[in-house]
Amino acid sequence: MTDESPFLKLPEIVMDNVLHYCDYLEIARLRKTCRSLRNYVDSTTSDALMTSVEITAHSQEVRFLLRSRSCRIDAHYSQSKDGYSMQYYTNGKCEFKTKKIHGENYLEAFKKDLEIFMKYQKGVISHLRIDLPPPLSEGILKVIENRGSTLKVTEIYVFNLPATQLLSTISLIDAQCLENLKVFTKEQRDVIDEIMDLEQWKHLYYCQLLNFQISQPRRISHIGMFTGNVTSVTAADLDFLKTAFLNSSMFCCCKMNCNSIADLSEIAEIFGVQPFTSRGSTGGVLRLWFFRMPNDKTTVLSLDVNSFHFVEFRHKKTAEVPSDAVIIG
């Protein structure tokens, strides 16, 4: 299509309506048509309309997976001898088997496409997954940062980033939108208390921290579902969390893998009763306390301090509490 095409002479309101119903792939195609159309597309506020985004990188390859309500785009960028090759799938069908581009690096090509996507993605992304090895992560995350505004993301899964890049990545997400966070690192048990200083932390409902640790367990009291590693937990911490969870309408469960747990005698003293002890299904010993829920006779809050260094709070039906156990409160 040339710059003199009648299509480019349509009234702006018509052009805007056309772009309003275009998804990311269609916008990307329009941009490649000609310079005038690319300039017009770039000046509009079109939305890429993607609801799920996954960026996964391995040695010499990046995968860019996008989903919307009606479309699935799966792009693979890999290094070749004289440039890079690309495979592109839409809705499960191979649009072109392999396209080889000479004289350009696969990572730079991906970053250009990511930059275009970031420019046009304005709606809420329900799921964002970022799985990047450290050598590639800095340049890719810089593209997201250069977007100029926070991404609206409901759920983000982040894998293999070092602590500093993890914190920077979470900071790129709209704090008012983020609800679910899952983090995994191959680094063993680094303490990452800085994550709890982020505005995004305050709004989480679900949080899973794998291998990273936190040292201030009281700062998870607002989270509905938490699984993660904690350096230590005291009897006073458990009492604080118990009170917070009893009075939270959002609470569902909390499981902490702890390096150090308060002595059972200290916990029993602060709660006023000895734990109910039983054998767990995996062979460990469960030490259980049960707390009466406010205004709910059918449910209790249970606390399990087991012999495998796990501490777990969860709801339990009152009818399932052993008859010889004490319900506190």
The total of other beta-carbon atoms located within 10 Å of residue 6's CB is: 7
Q: What is the mean pLDDT of residues 80-95?
A: 77
Residue 40 has pLDDT above 80, yes or no: no
Within this chain, do residues 131 and 15 fall inside the same structural domain, yes or no? no
CA-angle at 78, arms to 72 and 81, nearest 5°: 150
Whether residues 9 and 117 share a domain: the answer is: no
Please provide the distance, in angstroms rounded to a whole number, between the alpha carbons at the two ends of the chain. Answer: 76
Alpha helices in the chain (DSSP H): 12-20, 24-31, 35-43, 106-120, 134-145, 163-171, 235-246, 264-271
- Last residue within a domain, chosen from 28, 46, 64: 46
pLDDT at 213: 94
Assess whether pLDDT exceeds 90 at residue 307: no
Question: Given phi > 0 = left and psi -120 to 50 = alpha, else beta, which region is 60?
Answer: left
User: Could you tell me if 198 and 218 are in contact, meaning their C-beta atoms sit under 8 angstroms apart?
Assistant: no
150 & 193 share domain: yes
Asked if 57 and 147 sit in the same domain, the reply is: yes
**Same domain, residue pair 8 and 58:** no
As a whole number, mean pLDDT of residues 211-235 equals 97
Choosing from 171, 190, 214, the residue where a domain stops is 214
| pLDDT surpasses 70 at 256 | yes
CA angle 191, 154, 150 (to 5 degrees): 80
Which residue type, as a one-letter code, is found at position 185? T
Parent domain of 8 = 1-46
Residue 130 and residue 76 in one domain: yes
Instruction: Give the count of domains, the chain.
Output: 2
pLDDT of residue 16: 55
> If you average pLDDT over each of 48-52, 97-101, 121-125, 154-158, which comes out highest?
154-158
Q: What is the pTM of this model?
A: 0.84
Q: Work out the angle at residue 243's Cα, subtended by the Cα atoms of residues 239 and 246, and round it to the nearest 5 degrees.
A: 135
Residues 127 and 17 occupy one common structural domain = no
Residue 282 exposed, middle or buried by CB count within 10 Å (0-12, 13-18, 19+): exposed
Average pLDDT of the chain, as a whole number: 87
Helix (H) or strand (E) holding 89: strand 83-90
